[in-house]
Structure 1
């Protein structure tokens, strides 16, 4: 049975069995077997290929990583856990934003605190987009049932919708900017996700508590791990189900 994930990853990165074999110092026929017969390479070769195609080992070879090892890697993917969002160092937010080189993703209901603690956020996002960074902002649909319910659960009826409308006064300046996509979603969020390349901050949602008082995990992607990928996949699912904030904008 062929390994279609590996084949696709190599094609997307312009790699042939011959070039991969040269980089890994192996026989090209071995690379062919990895693709066509789903043979599993040695760990050192899996590491090298995963780095070449910028994919996780667990994605390319789901059966190669034992559940025990996957659990150990997942623990290593957690850089830090903060008891509440307010405990996340301000300079960490700044570092992650400024160091992003390929993508910035923000999945929230409103996330008003971001523009409050970083007054130049919009200018920074524009600058990053101009550098080729893909910027995706996913905000709660102000008229969605999930938004109304969230406000009721927090004991602040109508406040969440007002926050979204307020934060849109900032994000409207991204309208028409290349590489930026601002969308509305109607998802019931279990976490707010802030992704910066291969690092992310995941703000859990706790019933009855506003997000600033809920824990935050700082996660960094590791080859062979799947914790980062779990939240990344969740983010992408919301992207698929979202709608552009402005009719003329094409969804990511």
Structure 2
């Protein structure tokens, strides 16, 4: 028995699309769209690409079994725009462009990321984007959590140093509390990577034992329809977010 494609249903709903609108956009009968959703039928490749674009999701997310492994591997490599030896080697104008251009989704998973609030208008800019309809989710390390205490030790920062850095960062984000469209949580996960998502682009700051994040490598990713790499980090963010608790200031 074929199951409904809940990922496709959810993605279309999030983008305000009903079966009739989708059918018109991809030039098929609305009943065909209904079968793709309710019966989990897999569309032909020419339709999958259009549907993924409409739903703002990757083909590999919407139809995990439909994209060949070889194509996933090739596309994943193509999703890597740049590799930086250290996060602090990322040009300031790249950060500025990503932040400026993001209009729908901003997701940040970090411990403190104090470097972001060094931009004078970063926090006000987030509030403006939320007012314009962007969905913004910010997950910081729980200052009281075991994982933050351990990371402070591993990075040789000293006891309580990372927790204090997080509290310092949070002071800048206080104006965003209760702003519609913005959610802030504390996570207590082992942070293997810091994730900075701006619509269909990401900065992934890998974490290396004994090194602070600024001195660890970073990847610039751009989402491609059949890719798997961007989606992997997106699902990782979701898992950390779902285990996090509302932030307290």
Compute the TM-score of the two structures, normalised by the length of structure 2: 0.90
Which one of the candidate residues 186, 189, 192 is aligned to 1:190? 192
Matched, 1:89 2:64: no
2: CA distance, partners of 1:131 / 1:22: 27
- Tell me the residue number matched to 1:40: 42
Moved more, 187-196 or 3-12: 3-12
The farther-off stretch of 72-81 and 235-244 is 235-244
**Does the CA contact (< 8 Å) of 2:5 and 2:36 recur in 1?**
no
* Aligned counterpart, 1:243: 245
> Structure 2, unaligned stretches of length 5 or more?
none
Q: Select between 35-44 and 161-170 the one with higher mean Cα deviation.
A: 35-44
The root-mean-square deviation of aligned C-alpha atoms, in Å, is: 2.0
Is 1:123 aligned to 2:124, yes or no?
yes
| 1:104 CA displacement | 1.3
Q: Secondary structure at the match of 1:219?
A: strand
Which secondary structure does the structure 1 equivalent of 2:148 belong to? helix
Change (3 A) 1:26 1:105: closer
Q: Equivalent of 2:18, from 10, 15, 20?
A: 15
Within a 5 Å distance, the mapping from 1:150-169 to structure 2 comes to 150-157=151-158, 158-169=160-171
What secondary structure does 1:203 align onto?
strand
1:30–1:125 CA distance, 2 compared to 1 (3 A): closer
Alignment correspondent of 2:179:
177
Which consecutive unaligned segments of at least 5 residues does structure 1 have?
248-252
Alignment length, in residue pairs?
245
Q: Is the 8 A contact 2:5 2:39 kept in 1?
A: no
Offset at residue 54 of structure 1 (A): 2.1
CA distance in 2, matches of 1:36, 1:184: 36
Rate the CA distance shift 1:174–1:72 in 2: closer, same or farther, 3 A.
same
